[in-house]
Amino acid sequence: MNLKSLERRLAKLATNEAEAAVAARFAAYAKRPVAYVEKHLKSYVTPKQREILELLDKPPYRVLARSANTQGKTFIAASKCCHFFDTERPSITLATAPTAKSVTDLLFKEIRRLRPGDRQLAPKAPRLQASHEHYVDGYTSNNPDAFQGRHGARLGLVFDEATGIDPAFWARAETMFESHGGHWWLATYNPNDSASPAYLAEESRGWHVVVLSALEHPNVLAELNGDTPPVPAAVRLSTVLRRMAAECEETRNPDPAVDFEFPIGSGVWWHPKTPDFEAQIMGRWPVSPTSALFSPFLVESCFRMQRAVDPRWQFAMGCDVARFGDDKTTIALRCGPCLLRLESHSGVNTTWIADRLRTVIRETFGKLGLVPDDSMSVPIFIDDTGGYGAGVIDQAHGYNFIGVNNSEKSPDPRYPNTRSFVWCELAALAQAGALDLSRLPLNERQNIKAELTAARYRIDSAGRRVVEPKAQIKERLKRSPDRADALTLCYYLAAQSVPRL
């Protein structure tokens, strides 16, 4: 053995000994993340932050931290990165955020603050590395291909500001993540976009969900009692009171699903008037949508309506005909405000669709004790945008098949095209208590809720509401909103015929 080989061997032995010493030093914290943060990082952990850290070690080992502003969500993400790096060797942690500033100036700035003087931190790049198999890496969410192919027994994933992260990153992460104790996944975010993958993840029920509200923060509770706030840099009582004065009103007839009691236990209830207060102070998805047509709360109110069907009400059907391979032909049937049926089918031809439309309405009339032949006059609105529905419309066989072209001029001057009209009118019906979706099964409720809350609109130069194209909603959802489109057709021109509450 020559001198250089001996030097390399001795250096490797020294490295191994150093790593073994570090591993022994942190062994006691391996499954005790809260103790690590409190004792090693010497940092205060709020009850909600404690809950997040502990849930990451429990199946399914992934946590959605939906947070109001200034709650320390980036701090807890950075703390978990440090804990995993120090206690699990080797391990890989991949962290991402919507922008380079978010990764470098927020998440890794916090990691640097927690690890002052650590030579394993790259001078400028968002990287903490002990070896090529043991590191924490930061990426911006503009190149999903860079965020894949990392597999190992110990893997951590961090999505900071997760509502702004491209859906492709979520899809890549799913291919790497394994639901066992060696993997964990933390997504932190403000609830500002119910069309984001973060909202869809909440709806999937495959995650722990922790809500961080400013109304419950230890600083606010301490200051209400006249005590010193334990986390001076986090949200303060003065901020909450200032925002309440500007954006809330006291109510004597509170709705617990919308309103909030503050201080907690005081018997004084408040009604939030802005979606920003709900998202930034309460940490909840806003009841009132911003650029969305449907808020989650509005859709849920439609599920709770439960009106009895009156056969004397107007019947109508809607059919969204599949355009592409992964689209589905969807059929909706209503009686007055009540949706009676919603069904989707793949790989069916126009003859089958036309026959199914006739069969559904005849069977429904028979079940309700009505004359089946009378169903022939029921309006059946079929999406004929781009000519896709023409093959169905041509096979009406005496039934009232009506083509609707969403790209045509709107019948209402408040909207530029029919697509904007049908979507906005459906939302108006929901707000008026005239959209009863209570008969949908649970799995279909989750699907229709995701599709309705995904739709966005803008105001054009003429002051009209313009609903975004179907392709944009499909890109966001990673599937076509066929159910929602069938629903808009089913309630087409229903504003005058549907009874309100």
Token pair, residue 478, equals 């990673």
Token pair, residue 288, equals 């009132």
pLDDT of residue 16: 54
Instruction: Report yes or no: 281 and 211 within 8 Å, Cβ to Cβ.
Output: no
pLDDT of residue 223: 98
pLDDT of residue 324: 72
Stated pTM of the model = 0.73
For 260, the enclosing helix (H) or strand (E) is strand 260-261
pLDDT of residue 476: 80
Instruction: Report yes or no: 492 and 421 within 8 Å, Cβ to Cβ.
Output: no
| Residue ranges of the chain with per-residue pLDDT less than 70 | 1-23, 141-151, 288-290, 495-501
Token pair, residue 481, equals 């909103």
pLDDT of residue 190: 93
Sheet with 401-404, edge to edge strand ranges: 338-345, 329-335, 315-320, 380-383, 401-404
* Domains of the chain with bracketed CATH: 15-212 (3.40.50.300), 216-288 (no CATH), 302-490 (3.30.420.240)
Instruction: Report yes or no: 390 and 403 within 8 Å, Cβ to Cβ.
Output: yes
Instruction: Report yes or no: 285 and 258 within 8 Å, Cβ to Cβ.
Output: no
User: pLDDT digits over 397-438, tens only?
Assistant: 999 999 999 999 999 999 999 999 999 999 999 998 999 999
Report which of 115, 143, 128 is spatially closest to residue 41, judged by C-alpha positions: 115
Sheet with 269-272, edge to edge strand ranges: 248-251, 269-272, 260-261
Estimate to the nearest angstrom the gap between the alpha carbon of 112 and the chain centroid.
30
